[in-house]
């Protein structure tokens, strides 16, 4: 007798993730799954990135075990946001995201950030229907995280190392960190940033805009990206 319980759950999750992706594609929304441990700066990075979107319209789904603190922070910046309280679960899954969608004005969003529950383990195992897997490490966590939690770094499409302003304080070895990431994900782009000092945010958002342009799901979005890129190199 076979007992394929977990596999079946994951398969069901993948089906709903595909449905989410279809909804996003139909609405012309690109989606970033933001994964990191608690306190790495997910919410700060979403806000810092949203402030540099050059005309593209952000939206946010906040996943937390409890509370709506981060969603209130996002809402204070006039960004459409919906809070998912997982009621104890340590990750978001596709059905939770699906349940959140009716509460978001998808037609008015170009780039949707899904802030996953703070956790470096199981969020990597649950597809949500996102286009980009963003994993954020942070200096105070220590440079050994890619070695201890290789699974999530292996799944990343892009890695940010946040709180770069604290590298000296924590004697953080950024090369060792990067080497650990590259062991499981040789080609992944890595950006070293600080939401506090602003260091690295231009490079990260330039990469993001390039990614958005390269994979634009609809022509309006591609045009908006081209327009803002042109404005950037336009008359000073």
Does residue 91 interact with Zn ion by CB under 5 A? Answer: yes
Shortest Cβ 70–Mg ion spacing (Å): 4
Q: Within 10 A of 171 (CB to CB), how many other CB atoms are there?
A: 9
Residues that bind Mg ion (CB under 5 A): 42-43, 70
Q: Smaller CB distance to Zn ion: residue 36 or 109?
A: 36
Q: Smaller CB distance to Mg ion: residue 132 or 224?
A: 132
Q: Smaller CB distance to Mg ion: residue 43 or 205?
A: 43
Shortest Cβ 41–Mg ion spacing (Å): 8
Residue 91 contacts which entry, Zn ion, Mg ion, none (Cβ below 5-8 A, type-dependent):
Zn ion
Residue 90 contacts which entry, Mg ion, Zn ion, none (Cβ below 5-8 A, type-dependent):
Zn ion
Distance CA 199, CA 18 (A): 36
Closest CB to Mg ion: residue number: 43
Counts for the chain of helices (H) and strands (E), in that order: 9, 7
Distance CA 118, CA 115 (A): 8
CB within 8 Å of 45: residues ≥ 6 apart? 34, 136, 160, 162, 193, 195
Q: Smaller CB distance to Mg ion: residue 83 or 185?
A: 83
Nearest to 17 by CA among 177, 133, 159: 133
Sign of CA dihedral 75, 81, 82, 85: negative
Chain centroid to CA 159: how far? 10
Residue 154 contacts which entry, Zn ion, Mg ion, none (Cβ below 5-8 A, type-dependent):
none
What pairs with residue 161 in β-bridges? Answer: 137, 192
Residue 43 contacts which entry, Mg ion, Zn ion, none (Cβ below 5-8 A, type-dependent):
Mg ion
Residue 116 contacts which entry, Mg ion, Zn ion, none (Cβ below 5-8 A, type-dependent):
none
Q: Within 10 A of 97 (CB to CB), how many other CB atoms are there?
A: 29
Q: Classify each residue of 136-156 as buried b or exposed e, where b means 16 or more C-beta atoms within 10 Å of its C-beta.
A: bbbbebbbebbbebbebbebb
Shortest Cβ 42–Mg ion spacing (Å): 4
Residue 222 contacts which entry, Zn ion, Mg ion, none (Cβ below 5-8 A, type-dependent):
none
Distances from the Cα of 210 to the Cα of 2, 204, 217, 233, angstroms:
47, 10, 13, 14
Shortest Cβ 92–Zn ion spacing (Å): 9
Q: Smaller CB distance to Mg ion: residue 42 or 57?
A: 42
Q: Smaller CB distance to Mg ion: residue 16 or 45?
A: 45
Does residue 90 interact with Zn ion by CB under 5 A? Answer: yes
Segment 97-136, which members bind Zn ion (CB under 5 A)?
Answer: 122
Shortest Cβ 86–Zn ion spacing (Å): 8
The site for Zn ion (CB under 5 A) is made up of 90-91, 122
């Amino acid at each position: 007798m076979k007992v394929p319980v977990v596999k079946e759950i994951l398969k069901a999750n993948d089906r709903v993730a595909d449905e989410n992706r279809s909804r996003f594609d139909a609405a012309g929304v690109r989606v970033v799954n933001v994964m990191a441990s608690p306190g790495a700066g997910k919410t700060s990075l979403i806000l810092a990135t949203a402030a540099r979107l050059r005309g593209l319209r952000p939206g946010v789904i906040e996943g937390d075990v409890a509370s709506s603190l981060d969603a209130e922070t996002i809402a204070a910046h006039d960004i459409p946001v919906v809070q998912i309280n997982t009621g104890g679960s340590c990750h978001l899954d596709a059905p939770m995201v699906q349940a959140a969608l009716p509460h978001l004005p998808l037609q008015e969003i170009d780039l949707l950030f899904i802030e996953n529950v703070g956790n470096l383990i199981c969020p990597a195992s649950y597809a949500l229907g996102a286009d980009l897997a963003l994993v954020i490490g942070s200096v105070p966590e220590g440079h050994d995280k890619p070695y201890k939690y290789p699974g999530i770094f292996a799944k990343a499409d892009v890695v940010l190392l946040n709180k770069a302003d604290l590298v000296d304080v924590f004697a953080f070895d950024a090369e060792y960190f990067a080497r650990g990431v590259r062991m499981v994900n040789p080609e992944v782009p890595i950006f070293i940033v600080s939401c506090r000092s602003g260091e690295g945010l231009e490079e990260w958002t330039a990469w993001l805009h390039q990614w958005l342009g390269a994979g634009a799901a609809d022509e309006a979005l591609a045009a908006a990206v081209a327009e803002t890129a042109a404005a950037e190199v336009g008359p000073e």
